[in-house]
A and B are shown apart, each in its own frame.
Chain A
Amino acid sequence: MLWRAPLLIWQILFFVVPLFFLVYLSFWVVKNYRMTPALDPVNWIKMLSRDYFWSAYGLTLTMATVAALLVSLLAFPAAYTLAFKVSARVRQLAVFVLIIPFFTSYLVRIYAWQTLLAENGVINAFFSLLNLGPFTMLNTPIGTMVGYIALTLPLVVILQTISLANIDRSLVEAAHNLGCGKLRTILTVIIPLAKNGIIIGMVFCFILSFGDFVSPYYLGGSKPPTLSILIIDTTKAGQQWPKAAVVAITMIVTLFIVAIAAVAAAYKRPGTR
């Protein structure tokens, strides 16, 4: 049991205690630009009664959900190829290549995307050769989505690849021997067997996108703002950190619900309700 202690201490010190403090902070009041400890629900009442809060919440939830679905769909063909169509050596090399983007700062990569997505940027320069465009991509929800994909796609491909590579090949071969076509094998054999990895990949994509500040700000132009941008905006209103804590707690609760629901779905035994 003793070997569990460091993990427990770590979690208590760096997760449970800060979380309780965040909850406590959300009940503090701000007077003359100074935060004062209190147990006043005013921040919750004010924040949850604002239309813009719910607009930002709905937008963030929608964008993160779309990103999770889109990235999972985009990742699957690549993961399938790496798991079933290439040698183990090539797969290892590909996984290493997928890790490389994480060697550079996410912010730097997003600035590079600005150059690509701008109206006089690289992508529109290519379209102009075909007498198309210019298309507006930067400072739109499309820009935000591109940022989410750039952030999460390599990770989701890796998670799906690991999951697919661990499938018992004899089951796939049995499906083929019993006359199952390629598409049907994927839908009824491979995907159910790789369900855990696919769902965990979706959850990671959702979590990273839901809390991301950089893409919606620098590629989406903060128009309209997501919850992470709302936190920044709130702190610019005269030390309103308690109100920002309300937004942060709402985000954490949402992520908890999504993560628990996803894990439950991933590890649900077949035939159970």
Chain B
Amino acid sequence: MNKTDKSDSYNNNRRKILKAGAAAGAAVFAPYIRTAKAAPVEINILSWYGLGEPDMVAEFEEANNVKFKPKYYAGGDNMLAALAQSPPGTFDLIHTDAEYARILIERGDLVDALDPADYPFDDMLHEDFTKFPGHWKDGKLYSVICRYGHLGVSYNTDALTQAEAMSYNAFWSPKLAGKVGHFDWHLPNLGEISLLNGNTSPSPFDIDKAAWDKVKEKTLSLKPQVKGYFDYGGTFASLKNGEILACAGIGDWVTAVVAKDGGKVASVVPDEGGIQWTESYSIVSSSKKKDLVNKYIQYCLSPEGQVKSANMAAYPGFVVTQGGENALIKATPDEAKRSGQMPGLANNPITLINEGKIHYRDTPKQQTLEDWNDFWSEYKNA
């Protein structure tokens, strides 16, 4: 065997070994390579409960190979605390109430400016939604409205008629003695009492000292009627099992779910007016997945995303776009009718806004949030 033969033999053997090694390596690592390639991108969302659940995100996750990792909070203050306690980059998307979106934006470095052209502002059901208070700063958009709902009188339909529930005075009815519940948050409750006292202009949350004193006095007079103060779970259970027959500070976002579960409950916006909760999305400045997150916001505002939001299992919200309303009527006409989201219905949420009966929930303007909370603690202890 000459040198060339030896060399060829060596090369052949080496090739065979390399070939076999490559095949074995491929066999061993192929599943992992495939997995790594298909690993979904994780989107961390800070939101109210339900927004990151499968009924809301599964379709988008499947179509875009992403996986939502939600951190849920209850109340805007908890949202701010979660942000403060987390290092930058922890969250990509924030879902929040409009009054707290304003606080996020005013901090200056937490959320990004958005391009209004990315969203269907020309299809919004109400002009206010295109320039929602607190979502814009210095002409720039930072937060996009995605859903909303109305708060008023929520009641057991065996205990009150709809006509009786059409005033906040129903809470003082002898029929409800010891059977009135409160959603345990000062803003919606005191906002409703403020409306009952006629504080509609400019807002039930923008009241002077004399009006604030009257709100406190009126609220304290309700104390003998009160059964307790509840979070979402407690409100749900108490309405369902008849422990409370009416509840202040909530609306269809709770009673719709209780009713689906067999409870005899409903909500109305009374003659004195109702409070609107408004939820929106903002993109966190430190996120590395802004394009994907923006795509999700667009999905939420698409007709199909709006239908999902209106039927969300945790708590429903009204659609904000005309396309969303059309799709809702087509997809779930019964829900569209029940919630008034059809043209011409008396409880149509847009009609109520246009009639001036709806006031956007806000933080107190002439008192501090601490003042309102202090009084709420006093009231609970009274």
Could you mark each residue 191-212 of chain A with 1 if its beta carbon is under 8 Å from any beta carbon of chain B, else 0?
A: 0000000000000000000000
Whole-angstrom distance from the CB of A137 to the nearest CB of chain B?
10
> Contacting A222 at CB < 8 Å: which of B78, B103, B229?
B229
Of listed A35, A120, A224, residue having the most chain B CB within 10 A: A224
Minimum Cβ distance to chain B for residue A234 (Å): 7
Contact yes or no, B238 A52, CB < 8 A: no
Specify which chain A residues have a CB less than 8 angstroms from the CB of B233 in the assembled complex.
218
Complex-state Cα separation, A145 to B380, whole angstroms? 19
Indicate if the CB atoms of B242 and A52 lie closer than 8 Å: no
A237, B242: Cβ atoms under 8 Å?
no
Q: For B377, list chain A residues within 8 Å (CB).
A: 50, 52, 225, 230, 233-234
Looking at chain B's contact residues, the main secondary structure is helix
Task: Say yes or no: B80 contacts A33, CB within 8 Å.
Answer: yes
Contacts of A35 in B (CB 8 A): 84
A236 with B373: CB separation less than 8 A: yes
**Which B residue sits closest to A118, measured CB to CB?**
B241
Contact of B381 among A33, A52, A138 (CB under 8 A): A52
Residues in A whose Cβ lies below 8 Å from that of B75: 236
Cα–Cα distance between A266 and B4 once the two chains are bound (Å):
96
Contact with A along B213-254 (1 / 0, CB 8 A): 000000000000011111101100110011100000000000
Instruction: Indicate if A185 sits at the interface (CB-CB under 8 A).
Output: no
Which residue of B231, B368, B374, B377 has the most chain A CB atoms within 10 A of its CB atom? B377
Inter-chain contact A139/B228, CB cutoff 8 Å: yes
Q: How many of chain A's residues touch chain B, expressed as a range? A: 35 or more
Q: Check: A262 CB closer than 8 A to any chain B CB.
A: no
Do B373 and A120 touch (CB < 8 A)?
A: no
Distance between Cα atoms of A51 and B382 in the complex (Å): 10
Query: Known contacts A52-B381, A223-B227; is A233 also within 8 Å of B376 by CB?
Result: yes
Which residues of chain B come closer than 8 Å to A225, judged between CB atoms?
Answer: 229, 377, 380-381
The 8 A CB mask of A48-63 against B (1 = contact, 0 = none) is: 0011100110000000
- Asked whether B370 is an interface residue with its Cβ less than 8 Å from the other chain, the reply is yes
* Contact status A222-B230, CB under 8 Å: yes
| Other 16 A-B pairs with CB < 8 A, given A111-B237, A118-B241, A238-B373 | A34-B107, A50-B377, A50-B378, A52-B374, A114-B237, A119-B241, A136-B178, A139-B227, A217-B231, A221-B228, A223-B228, A234-B373, A236-B77, A236-B373, A237-B372, A240-B370
- Sample of 24 A–B contacts (CB below 8 Å): A34-B84, A34-B107, A51-B378, A121-B241, A136-B178, A139-B227, A220-B228, A221-B229, A221-B234, A223-B228, A223-B380, A225-B229, A230-B377, A233-B373, A233-B380, A234-B373, A235-B78, A235-B81, A236-B75, A236-B77, A237-B373, A237-B374, A238-B370, A238-B373
A-side interface residues toward B, CB under 8 Å? 32-35, 50-52, 55-56, 111, 114-115, 118-121, 136, 138-139, 217-218, 220-225, 230, 233-241
